[in-house]
Structure 1
Amino acid sequence: MTRQSDIATTGSVLVVAGRLGRLGRLSLVVWAVAAVAALILIPVGFGHLRGSGLPVPEDGSSQRAARLIAARMPQLGDEQVVLAFSSRQLRREDGVYQGAMGAAARAVTGVRGAGRVLAVPESPVQDPHHAYLLVGLNGDAAARLDRLPVLREAVHRAVAEAARGRVTVAVTGQTPLTEELVAADVGDLRAVEAVTVPAALVLLVFGLGSVGSAVLILLAAGLGVVVSTGAVAGLSLVTPVDTLTLVVATTVGFGLGLDYSLLMLIRYRQARAEGLVPQAAAGRATATAGRAVLWCAAAVLVTGAALLTVSVGLLRTVAVAAAVTTVVAAALATTLLPVLLPRLDGFLSAGRVRRPADARASWERWARHLMRHPWPYLGGAVAVLVLMAVPVVGLRLGVDLDRASLAHSEMGVGLAQMERDGLANVTLLALPHAAGQGPVDTTDLTEVLAGDPRVVTSMALDNGRDLTVVAVVDRIPADRPAAGALLNDLRRRAGRTLPGGQEVLCAGQAADLADLQQAMRAALRQVAVLVLAGTFVLMLVVFRSLVLPVKAIAMNLLSTGAAFGLLSWFTGHTANVVVPLMAVTLVFGLSLDYEVFLVHRITEHYRAGTACREAVARGLSGTAQPITLAATTMAVVFAGLLATGRQELRQVGFLVAVAVLLDATVIRLVVVPALMQLLGHRNWWLPAPLARLLPPVPTPAPSSAPRVPRPGRTEKDPAPTVLSHREETRS
């Protein structure tokens, strides 16, 4: 059986090698064209990127309220921004101060898309040197972002001319926040690149043992990032794409590009160390590691696709962008690298670095030791991971405006001033009524609200036709848990004090955040089910086993739970409500990469006739070093997000980096091999009826493809895992 498998595999390697030879130039041309097209699209598409702001569900009640107000009372606009005035010398009642506010109000009326200007009533704790105006801003998110600079410039110029520098003004609100985040995201992308690229290069040089190999992997991953970034930039020309999506997609693309290219290179070098000629070695790498890379990419695509079911546009866009970068990374590793590796065969050993010569022997000793003592290591590793996961019980999900990153911006200064003055939030209660019926009687409601210490003031407006709006100004910042409690109280009091059957819709930042948190909690359950189901089906097809998919899911849950527990400790038991959704899909997808790579190698040996225990030992010793190097590099890439200014990016970076390290070390090097050794042949159990329904997945065994004779070696001599063929010859 083994000999037949060898012959079949030899044929497949030769076929692949032949195809690579014929298609080599075409592959080079295609990727060159893709790179040039990307370089053209990137500057064009960057001009169409928008800020993410708050990822509010499109079908949430707050958005329905906002659309209703914008349609029936356009003077209040699609959004309400606040002009926060301040002066060190003048009090708000002084003539010059009032003149500056009047000039600002008149300037607003000349700005396209600006609506009605309302004076915000004073708070009992308001600084006498501060005053505020509420301005309606019309248009969709992109239009408001375009109009904001015009509004800001007009207001600043009017105030400067009227007060001669004695009064200042800051524009605050959702669109100003979005504008700040756009600039921050672009800066964050540069910061991530500045941290991750040098760190990845150092790791690759020492992990691969040569500068040439490290540079090739880095350049391949970089090319993938350029092409995928160009694709995302092109996507922004036809659909809204935000800057946060670009940061996440670039990070994922760079990490996967390094991962997939690294696996291909290592398999190529193993084949060369065994004596295969360069073209045959590239064919071997494509037929073995290339197949594993494609399944790894499929795992990332399957888990990421679950985000497409979420009602938040930001997360759906992130899912699409991540899918694009995954496809590009996998395509580059399996079509371009096999063409480049034989052509750059000599370059791979350039700049050799001294490393321990017995790395593979050390992993072999560990594998044999683990096979003899599976229970103690399995129990100890699981116990450690469970203890790490315990803090997740106290993890609280919410939304934080991340004031620290905004502290030095105009938006941040204005927001801090408003919160100190007890004017932290404005909620609009939309009360639709029949035309000709007259305004809704809100007397009882406003009287009740006047007695609430959390509420500064409330006022009722009517469009004279079919809508009454009650504006409620309160002291609680919109991203605090107490803001949600106040929102519920507003709804309950409106139901008690307004005429029977009156519909009440809430708009404003607090209402947006409440809808977001509700949608994220519901989506987390939905996405988790889809990710688990997709993982099970994919692993079932890949390994033709019912046991291995269940094991893979259990291991991923264990490492993900431990990572979330450490995140809870890292953040003080709080996390952005968007983080679990993004992280769970990323962590499951990336963890399945290493699952596929390890178990795929074990399955190769097992289906070639090797006993289960020996197959596990060989698979572990043959993949331990590449998995460790790939995971460390991936962790460094995501740890680069810790250098960003955005809280949610830092949390995602920490969570994914920790989860990948735990998965590639504790899970893949201890728990999985120990468990597979204990399960034995039951690992590949598959009922016969199900086996007939599944497509056959050929798993190649070590081949006898054309070799270069090596003096002083026999075919049975073990080859090092990551040493190049030249290093092996010298050893």
Structure 2
Amino acid sequence: MVQGWRGRGRWCVAAWTVVVLAALLALSAGFGRLGAITLSVPGSSSARAASLVARGMPQLGTEQLVLAFDSRTLRVTDGTYQDAVSEVAQALPRLPGAGQVLPLPGAPGHNPHHDYFLVGMTGDVDARRQLMTKLRTVARESVARASQGRVTLAVTGPTPVLDETVSGDLRDLRLVETLTAPLAFGILVAGLGSLGAALVPLLVAGLSVLVSTGALAALSQVTHVDTLSVVVATTVGFGLGLDYGLLLWLRHRHYRDRLLDPVEAAARASASAGRTVLWCGGAVVLAGAALQTVPLDAVRSAGLAAMLATVVTTAVATTLLPTLLPRLDPLFSFARIARRRRTGSRERVSRWANHLMAHPWPYLLAAVAVLGLAAAPAGGLRLGVQVDRAAIAGTEAGRGLEQAEADGLAGFRLLALPHTAGAGPVDTTGLTDALSADRRVTMAAALDNGRDLTVVAVTDSVRSDRPAADELMADVRAMATRTLPPGQTVYVAGPGAEMADARAVLLSCLGQVAALIVAGSFLLMASAFRSLLLPLKALAMNALSLAASFGLLAWATAHTADTVNIAIPLLAFTIVFGLSMDYEVFLVHRITEHYRADRDHRRAVAQGLSETARPVTLAAATMACVFAALMATHRQEYRQFGFLVAGAVLLDATVIRLVLVPALMRLLGHRNWWLPKPVERLLSRPPSSASANANANANANDCVLTSPSPYEHGKQ
């Protein structure tokens, strides 16, 4: 068996060498169509309105940009200022895909040195990004030439604002990688005892990130890839790589401690721990697949990125790593750090496990109380979709947005009113009068294409990402219903309408995504553990850790003006649910093995906890380190996401896995493994000869840390 395993290993290394070289080649070419996330919801009112406007009034385009003019010395009425504006208004419509330049009046009393115009862009996301770059260059050159530099121009709008975040996201991603690698390496060295051993999980994590991001880079040459997908692939790939690499190394070390040769130890580690990694990876893939039901490209892409990173990491850990372990074995004793023997630490953990078994109720109630207190503020979590102004501060789009909002041009929307061809324009007199009478509205003007579409353009002083924008939207719709002809269809386009549709879709999908993940996880764990109560207990524990982490996030953001991006709970729920399965499988699988050996549930729980406490804590510390590094970024959404996931992982690996789960399993006793006979027959599968041989030869101690290994004493 070992000889055949050696032969397959050479082919495995060769295949992965080709994959890594391909990933390096893709990354060397760069991310071709990398961009920011988009909030457009296909089929929504805002998407329908944008389509109607683009088709019926191409001069307004699919998206509208705001040209914010400014001068320190000149007023809007000065000749040089007007010449600069006129030069821009004549130059931009000549660009293919650009619409007509239309004036936008500011609110009464706005800065006399500021002037605003609107220009439309047609095409899809990538076409608009390319056009925006040309448009911005032409506008700058035109205004500088006509005013001799005395008038400046800032282009702002959805695409410019989101596009400004791309370069910042890439810088932040490099910062995260710079912080994470040394921190994780330090934790691993302290936990594993040598520099050589710590390199194994880092190798798996590094290859996972390299191949995953290489695949995204190749994909970006042919289609749009957003920066959120790159961040998710990097963090999930790195975190899981550390976890799975650690698990395989510990199994290999366990068999080396039994004086098996490196090849035999690697083969047995692969046969036994490989299945655990496959179960864990399947849980994360399942969670990412649930996100594909959300009709928002950004969320779907993030789910696909998580699935891609998980598949790559699982493949590296179960194919390449077992092949490399015998070759790397001599390095595992390299640069051992001087420290006390682990015997005392193991004895302390063993004493804690036995103490917990003797007093399960007090610790169970205390753990539930701690998690309950942490979860209490979760009901006050303020969700929304908002512009991260701090992330774009100092950029051209940020300056333009700040200037326009200060002058009462914070929101812009188009009301699309389709009508029968030849029936004449829709009577909008009552609507425009009602809008003009509203103090929040700075302009309301009607246009008709002379065929089948009337458009009412509305500007207002309410920021499009604030709750007041939803109130204004509801009032505008009520005005339209009251003043327009009966039965008139109204669609609303614009950044505020797009954000409102995205919020509504994300809120409506939270329940269905949660239901899919819970149902899929239950079936997966029922098959893995051969029990009905263990999956139910695991789902309850995951819900507790998520509720507690949401509560901590609500507490951390309670005294700020910022809301929590509504996509974050959705993404965090998906990723945390998948990651929590790792620690559940690590702990419960070991307890189950002990229980099936002697049917003593109390002893099984104590031994399983003693043997997995330290590895689970070490794995959680490295995983939390990866996501906590996101808190050093400039993006508010990434900081919130990192805080939420890191907090959930730490709570899960400490309060839940080291206290709550073993105490509950101690109280449930033999009922932990209750399985009705019909379900048992349904889930039963005849063991293959390979698995039977592995079970006969391998103690399924996935996470055990035993006595010092031969190479800790300098033996080969």
Using structure 1 for the length normalisation, give the TM-score. 0.94
State the shift of 1:726 in Å. Answer: 2.2
Q: Deviations over 1:627-674 (max 9, x none)?
A: 100100000001111122211111111100000000011111111111
- RMSD across aligned C-alpha pairs, in angstroms? 1.8
State the shift of 1:145 in Å. Answer: 0.4
Aligned-partner SS, 2:458: strand
- Does residue 311 (structure 1) correspond to residue 295 (structure 2)? The answer is yes
State the shift of 1:729 in Å. Answer: 7.8
Q: Deviations over 1:380-402 (max 9, x none)?
A: 01110011000001111011201
CA distance, structure 2, for counterparts of residue 722 and residue 654 of structure 1? 36
Aligned-partner SS, 2:486: coil
Contact 1:604 1:701 in 2 (8 A): no
Q: Label 1:76 to 1:385 Cα distance change in 2 as closer, same or farther (>3 A).
A: same
Q: Label 1:61 to 1:703 Cα distance change in 2 as closer, same or farther (>3 A).
A: closer
- Does residue 442 (structure 1) correspond to residue 435 (structure 2)? The answer is no
CA distance, structure 1, for counterparts of residue 313 and residue 210 of structure 2? 11
Aligned-partner SS, 2:35: coil
Q: Which runs of 5+ in 1 are unaligned?
A: 1-14, 708-717
Q: Find the counterpart in structure 1 of residue 117 from structure 2.
A: 133
Letter of the structure 2 residue corresponding to residue 195 of structure 1 = L
Q: Deviations over 1:450-474 (max 9, x none)?
A: 1101101110011110000000000
State the shift of 1:32 in Å. Answer: 0.6
Letter of the structure 1 residue corresponding to residue 45 of structure 2 = S
What does 1:224-623 align with in structure 2 at a 5 Å threshold? 224-357=208-341, 358=343, 359-572=345-558, 574-623=563-612
State the shift of 1:284 in Å. Answer: 2.3
Aligned-partner SS, 1:258: helix
Contact 2:251 2:704 in 1 (8 A): no
State the shift of 1:89 in Å. Answer: 0.7
Aligned-partner SS, 1:457: strand
Contact 1:542 1:697 in 2 (8 A): no
- Does residue 646 (structure 1) correspond to residue 629 (structure 2)? The answer is no
Of 52, 77, 83, which aligns to 1:68?
A: 52
Contact 2:200 2:246 in 1 (8 A): no
Letter of the structure 2 residue corresponding to residue 168 of structure 1 = T
- Does residue 637 (structure 1) correspond to residue 626 (structure 2)? The answer is yes
Q: Is 224-233 or 373-382 further displaced after alignment?
A: 224-233
Letter of the structure 1 residue corresponding to residue 157 of structure 2 = G
Letter of the structure 2 residue corresponding to residue 649 of structure 1 = Y
Aligned-partner SS, 1:461: strand
Letter of the structure 2 residue corresponding to residue 109 of structure 1 = P
Q: Find the counterpart in structure 1 of residue 91 from structure 2.
A: 107
State the shift of 1:19 in Å. Answer: 4.5
State the shift of 1:199 in Å. Answer: 0.6
Contact 1:59 1:311 in 2 (8 A): no
Aligned-partner SS, 2:149: coil
Q: Is 283-292 or 368-377 further displaced after alignment?
A: 283-292
Q: Is 584-593 or 334-343 further displaced after alignment?
A: 334-343
Q: Label 1:729 to 1:344 Cα distance change in 2 as closer, same or farther (>3 A).
A: closer
Aligned-partner SS, 2:387: coil
Contact 1:208 1:722 in 2 (8 A): no
State the shift of 1:212 in Å. Answer: 0.4
State the shift of 1:174 in Å. Answer: 0.8
Of 144, 166, 181, which aligns to 2:165?
A: 181
Contact 1:69 1:430 in 2 (8 A): yes
Q: Label 1:398 to 1:331 Cα distance change in 2 as closer, same or farther (>3 A).
A: same
Using structure 2 for the length normalisation, give the TM-score. 0.96
CA distance, structure 1, for counterparts of residue 651 and residue 4 of structure 2? 39
State the shift of 1:705 in Å. Answer: 4.8
Q: Deviations over 1:7-32 (max 9, x none)?
A: xxxxxxxx5x4543221101111111
Q: Label 1:294 to 1:719 Cα distance change in 2 as closer, same or farther (>3 A).
A: closer
Contact 1:349 1:724 in 2 (8 A): no
- Does residue 661 (structure 1) correspond to residue 646 (structure 2)? The answer is no
- Does residue 81 (structure 1) correspond to residue 65 (structure 2)? The answer is yes
What does 1:116-131 align with in structure 2 at a 5 Å threshold? 116-131=100-115
Q: Is 353-362 or 82-91 further displaced after alignment?
A: 353-362
Q: Label 1:148 to 1:687 Cα distance change in 2 as closer, same or farther (>3 A).
A: same
- Does residue 51 (structure 1) correspond to residue 2 (structure 2)? The answer is no
CA distance, structure 2, for counterparts of residue 593 and residue 192 of structure 1? 23
Q: Which runs of 5+ in 2 are unaligned?
A: none
Letter of the structure 1 residue corresponding to residue 197 of structure 2 = S
State the shift of 1:287 in Å. Answer: 2.1
Letter of the structure 2 residue corresponding to residue 236 of structure 1 = S
CA distance, structure 1, for counterparts of residue 152 and residue 144 of structure 2? 7
Letter of the structure 2 residue corresponding to residue 51 of structure 1 = A
Q: Find the counterpart in structure 1 of residue 202 from structure 2.
A: 218
